[in-house]
Amino acid sequence: MAQYARGAAAVAVIRLRNPPVNALSLTVLQALEDGLKRADADPSVKAVTICGENGKFSAGADIRVFSSPKKQGLGLGPIISLIERSEKPVVAAIEGIALGGGLEVALGCHYRIAHVQARMGLPEVTIGLLPGAEGTQRLPRLIGIPAALDIITTGRHVPATEALKLGLVDEVVEENTVEAAIRLATKLIGQPLGHRRLSLRPVPRLPNMEAFLSDALMKVKKRAQGCLAPELCFQAIKAATELPFADGVRKERELFNILLTSGQAKALQYAFFAERAVEKWTTPNGASWKSASPQPIRKAAVIGLGTMGRGIVTSLVKAKIPVVGLEQDLEYLNTGRKAVMLLLEREAMKMEQGAQTLDFHNPARLQFTVDFDVLRDVDLVIEAVFENMALKKEIFNKLSRICKPEAFLCTNTSALNIDEIASVTNRPQQVIGTHFFSPAHVMRLLEIIYGRHTSPTTIATAMQLAKVMKKVGVVVGNCFGFVGNRMMFPYTQQAVFLLEEGSRPEDVDRVLEDFGFKIGPFRMSDLAGLDVGWRSRKDQGLTGPSLAPGTPARQRRGYRYSPLPDLLCEKGRFGQKTGKGWYQYEKAGGRISKPDPWIHSFLSEYRDTHQIKTRFIDQEEILERCLFALISEGFDILAEGIASGPEHLDVIYINGYGWPKHRGGPMFYASTVGLPNILAKLQKYSEMHPDVPQLRPSAFLKKLVAMGNPPLNDWMSYLHRQSNKL
Ligand SMILES: CCCCCCCC(=O)CC(=O)SCCNC(=O)CCNC(=O)[C@H](O)C(C)(C)COP(=O)(O)OP(=O)(O)OC[C@H]1O[C@@H](n2cnc3c(N)ncnc32)[C@H](O)[C@@H]1OP(=O)(O)O
Ligand SMILES: NC(=O)C1=CN([C@@H]2O[C@H](COP(=O)(O)OP(=O)(O)OC[C@H]3O[C@@H](n4cnc5c(N)ncnc54)[C@H](O)[C@@H]3O)[C@@H](O)[C@H]2O)C=CC1
């Protein structure tokens, strides 16, 4: 709703009210319209101020309504026109946030005053839409095409001080914004408003408008990576440069409707709510975010300053948590220290008052050591040493002797058993997996893995840590590879099998990159280093000296196995770091991948050796085998209770594995393809490859199909229900 009151003798105040973010629901819009009409009809009211309850202007349209049959969007544009047409001056008092439809309301006002801490933006593009309440036509008229394009196509939040420089707001205040707006409204009474009505203004011309727009379109397309909304945002803004306001609004509406009915908007809005849903974690034994309280982390330590440790230290410093970095010897320590300092300097350069704010030259903030005794007073340790169980156990045993009893002990293992690591400590309840993703200071995902004894407080503390590091924490159970890497395994396995059967690395990568992955499986493997997986396979006895003599080359434990990655490693082809892997690079450490004729002839010799008949594999098969195998594993994970819902898997894939957000994550994607289709395809591929268990459809997937393909929101409720058709 919206509250109507008097702010001063002649000023009506309309306060948008819909906690927690004053989203513009149908009720709020109706109340806003009623308030405007009431103010217009009352001769004693000479001016109006619009503000929001609880220090927030508005986060825009209620996103849930876009997927409900009653779409409220259509009502907002006319209300904004009503504000703009008012003969009485209307002043927006922007506190906290004015986003999406919220900012569009403010753009309809004749003046805008913002609090210095406020943020403004048109983030519709991030949920697959465009500002559909005339925002694409008003904003360019106010701040010009380049700034409007930037704000609308990126959806970024603009701080008040920048908004003032851009001319988006007229004044920034440090004190009470609503009172300042009421004072301004009082002063404006009786003054002409024509020039303040944005719809009547021309769009400021650029001398080279055509060239500017074509360059901008190229940049927008490049950034969009298959997402529709940025390009349609561009088209709407371009319309503002070509058409009168009313025609521009018609074009905006047309483009908005295309987006609204596209699957992408649905997927992106699902992703928005999924990210918030995973914050409300629960575990199968009843622990939950509701009852567990996090402990404060005043000081942390990171053990191992290799690829991951460096990024983790950087994230902690950025989160203003004092941190100690520990290495095994002085040589490693110096290398690690230099790498951390370089990362922090780069981060500081990106920030306004970077170096002072991060204060990383201050030893009270950041310290390096080889001495475990220095860790006596830390509240939390994150171990990031080599992926080796014996080494991790040795370290955890040492930590449990040295660290204070309340300290939490976290491991950044990619796959190892948390319970086994915890078993060597005197506090298994305070041991937890915190699985960061590389580069750890950039990637948003933090997979948080609880063991058998991990306490709810420990989970809550790790989740809080994710939040202060501005990461998305997702709580999952303990199994080999946890959620992300466990689902990745069948995906990369299929990719390699496809090479054996006839594809080339660039064919497989292209199909998956066209689907929307930032990087295909082979380019990814070259980037991460083929030696990482090789070491793990050697540890598991799948290859190397511990492999039993006489083991068939393409079979392990009775199932199909591809030795292709091992063969590449044996030839020193570790990927980018050696300049050769699945592709060739300009030099060791080079980043530009080129298809490698050596690989092509190596693959054909390999097929000859193993009498595999090369066949043409089409895009559909590449996509389905890689993705459906991954999805089937996802259903197993859900059935085992390793994750408490499909949103968890989707948030993990979007934030940690480059899954295209506009496809909503693998489980959401499965729901759009239709579970019966996925099941049928898996059954077909499984019959073709009976020695590949990862292609056998998950029993839970079969059950959901037998239950009539229920919507994703209902999947978990079928877990323990009986199915008559099975
Ligand atoms: C044909 C013509 C049609 C024309 C119609 C076009 C109308 C438009 O132009 C379209 C729009 O406005 S679309 C909406 C654009 N606004 C946004 O995308 C803002 C989304 N919200 C945020 O960024 C953060 O929540 C925010 C920055 C606001 C706050 O962040 P926090 O981290 O403080 O808090 P959160 O945990 O994110 O949020 C708190 C609770 O509020 C829910 N929520 C937030 N924004 C919402 C919104 N716009 N609609 C509905 N619910 C929303 C959020 O889900 C969370 O809920 P709970 O998890 O249940 O507590
Ligand atoms: N590299 C990646 O992309 C990812 C790795 N991980 C996991 O993170 C952990 C670390 O991996 P990376 O950083 O890639 O390894 P890395 O080899 O780059 O770094 C490991 C570091 O640990 C140090 N170290 C070894 N023994 C030590 C000891 N006793 N005391 C102190 N420091 C010691 C080494 O000197 C080295 O600097 C592993 O468990 C790995 O599985 C997790 C996610 C992604």
Considering every ligand atom, which ligand is closest to the CA of 436? 2
C-alpha 385: how far from chain center: 26
Is 540 a member of any domain? yes
Same domain, 61 and 176: yes
Is 273 a member of any domain? no
Active-site annotation holds for 252: no
Same domain, 136 and 6: yes
Does residue 192 have a cis peptide bond before it, meaning omega lies within 30 degrees of 0? no
User: Ligand 1, closest atom to CA 253?
Assistant: 1
Q: How far is the CA of 431 from the centre of ligand 2 (A)?
A: 18
Q: How far is the CA of 63 from the centre of ligand 1 (A)?
A: 6
User: CATH number of the domain that 651 lies in?
Assistant: 1.10.1040.10
Could you tell me if the CB of 412 is within 6 A of ligand 2? yes
- List the catalytic residue out of 53, 84, 104, 447: 104
Q: How far is the CA of 453 from the centre of ligand 1 (A)?
A: 37
Which amino acid residue places its CA nearest to atom 3 of ligand 2? Answer: 438
Same domain, 561 and 533: yes
- Position 70 scores a pLDDT of 65
Considering every ligand atom, which ligand is closest to the CA of 527? 2
Q: How far apart are CA 726 and CA 722, in angstroms?
A: 9
- Residue span of the structural domain in which 692 resides: 619-718
**What does DSSP assign to residue 571?**
T
Same domain, 171 and 209: yes
Q: How far is the CA of 565 from the centre of ligand 2 (A)?
A: 22
Same domain, 313 and 431: yes
**What does DSSP assign to residue 586?**
S
Q: How far apart are CA 138 and CA 134, in angstroms?
A: 6
Below-70 pLDDT ranges, the chain:
69-74, 353-356, 722-726
User: Ligand 1, closest atom to CA 277?
Assistant: 58
Is 384 a member of any domain? yes
Is 498 a member of any domain? no
Q: How far apart are CA 487 and CA 653, in angstroms?
A: 9
Same domain, 625 and 601: no
DSSP sequence for 231-260: HHHHHHHHHHHHS-HHHHHHHHHHHHHHHH
Q: How far is the CA of 218 from the centre of ligand 2 (A)?
A: 40
Considering every ligand atom, which ligand is closest to the CA of 440? 2
Active-site annotation holds for 104: yes
User: CATH number of the domain that 25 lies in?
Assistant: 3.90.226.10
Is 276 a member of any domain? no
Could you tell me if the CB of 382 is within 6 A of ligand 2? no
Could you tell me if the CB of 656 is within 6 A of ligand 2? no
Same domain, 640 and 588: no
User: Ligand 1, closest atom to CA 122?
Assistant: 15
Q: How far is the CA of 6 from the centre of ligand 1 (A)?
A: 29
Q: How far is the CA of 303 from the centre of ligand 2 (A)?
A: 8
> Tokens in use for 407?
């300290």
Nearest residue to 316 (alpha-carbon basis) of 449, 450, 471:
471
Phi, psi of 470 (to 5 degrees): 60, 40
Within 8 A by CB and 6+ apart from 192, the residues are none
Which amino acid residue places its CA nearest to atom 16 of ligand 2? Answer: 306
Q: How far apart are CA 258 and CA 129, in angstroms?
A: 9
426 within 8 A of 400, measured Cβ to Cβ: yes
Q: How far is the CA of 303 from the centre of ligand 1 (A)?
A: 39
Same domain, 183 and 119: yes
The alpha helices in 109-199, defined as continuous H runs, are: 135-143, 145-154, 160-166, 177-188
Is 431 a member of any domain? yes
Considering every ligand atom, which ligand is closest to the CA of 119? 1
C-alpha 564: how far from chain center: 33
> Where does a domain end: 234, 254, 274?
254
303: three-class secondary structure by DSSP: strand
412 within 8 A of 312, measured Cβ to Cβ: yes
Nearest residue to 455 (alpha-carbon basis) of 288, 603, 209:
288
- Position 669 scores a pLDDT of 98
DSSP sequence for 627-680: HHHHHHHHHHHHHTTSSSSHHHHHHHHHHHS---GGGT-HHHHHHHH-HHHHHH
DSSP sequence for 88-122: S-EEEEE-SEEETHHHHHHHHSSEEEEETT-EEE-
Phi, psi of 383 (to 5 degrees): -90, 130
- List the catalytic residue out of 33, 124, 347, 621: 124
Could you tell me if the CB of 30 is within 6 A of ligand 2? no
329 within 8 A of 410, measured Cβ to Cβ: no
Exposure of 595 in the CB half-sphere (CA atoms within 13 A) = 12
Which amino acid residue places its CA nearest to atom 31 of ligand 1? Answer: 21
> Tokens in use for 495?
């990719």
Instruction: State pTM to two decimals.
Output: 0.94
Q: How far is the CA of 708 from the centre of ligand 1 (A)?
A: 33
**CA torsion angle 300 303 307 308 (round to 10):** -50
Q: How far apart are CA 400 and CA 426, in angstroms?
A: 6
Could you tell me if the CB of 385 is within 6 A of ligand 2? yes
**What does DSSP assign to residue 589?**
T
Q: What b/e readout covers 271-298, taking b as 16+ CB neighbours within 10 angstroms?
A: bbebbebbeebebeeebebeebebbebe
Write out residues with Cβ below 6 Å of ligand 1: 20-21, 23, 59-64, 73-74, 76-77, 97, 99-101, 104, 123-124, 127, 129, 131-133, 135, 253, 256, 273, 276
**CA torsion angle 523 524 527 533 (round to 10):** -120
User: CATH number of the domain that 446 lies in?
Assistant: 3.40.50.720
Residue 108, number of CB atoms within 10 A of its CB: 28
Nearest residue to 105 (alpha-carbon basis) of 165, 71, 59, 41:
59
- From its phi and psi, is residue 590 left (phi > 0), alpha (psi between -120 and 50) or beta? beta
User: Ligand 1, closest atom to CA 61?
Assistant: 12
Q: How far is the CA of 197 from the centre of ligand 1 (A)?
A: 27
Which amino acid residue places its CA nearest to atom 28 of ligand 1? Answer: 59
- Position 633 scores a pLDDT of 98
324 within 8 A of 367, measured Cβ to Cβ: yes
47: three-class secondary structure by DSSP: strand
Q: How far is the CA of 183 from the centre of ligand 1 (A)?
A: 30
**CA torsion angle 523 528 532 536 (round to 10):** -70
> Tokens in use for 623?
């996509």
Is 488 a member of any domain? no
CA distances from 615 to 504, 511, 612, 685 (A): 11, 17, 9, 15
628 within 8 A of 494, measured Cβ to Cβ: no
Considering every ligand atom, which ligand is closest to the CA of 394? 2
Is 148 a member of any domain? yes
Same domain, 308 and 373: yes
User: Can you tell me which residue has the tokens 């290859």?
Assistant: 543
CA distances from 471 to 445, 507, 660 (A): 6, 33, 18
First-residue to last-residue Cα distance in the chain: 50
Counting ligand 1 atoms within 8 A of each CB, the residue from 16, 21, 130 with the most, and so the one to mutate, is 21
Considering every ligand atom, which ligand is closest to the CA of 260? 1
Per-residue model confidence as pLDDT tens digits over 78-124: 999 999 999 999 999 999 999 999 999 999 999 999 999 999 999 99
**What does DSSP assign to residue 17?**
-
Same domain, 201 and 94: yes
User: Ligand 1, closest atom to CA 119?
Assistant: 27
- Position 726 scores a pLDDT of 46
DSSP bridge partners of 445: 472
Could you tell me if the CB of 644 is within 6 A of ligand 2? no
Counting ligand 1 atoms within 8 A of each CB, the residue from 27, 63, 72 with the most, and so the one to mutate, is 63
What's the number of domains the chain is made of? Answer: 4
> Where does a domain end: 549, 580, 609?
609
User: Can you tell me which residue has the tokens 């851009």?
Assistant: 166
Q: How far apart are CA 91 and CA 112, in angstroms?
A: 6
Per-residue model confidence as pLDDT tens digits over 600-645: 999 999 999 999 999 999 999 999 999 999 999 999 999 999 999 9
Same domain, 64 and 204: yes
Could you tell me if the CB of 413 is within 6 A of ligand 2? yes
> Where does a domain end: 609, 640, 661?
609
Same domain, 428 and 523: no
User: Can you tell me which residue has the tokens 């704000």?
Assistant: 151
Q: How far apart are CA 575 and CA 527, in angstroms?
A: 6
Counting ligand 2 atoms within 8 A of each CB, the residue from 305, 337, 410, 414 with the most, and so the one to mutate, is 414
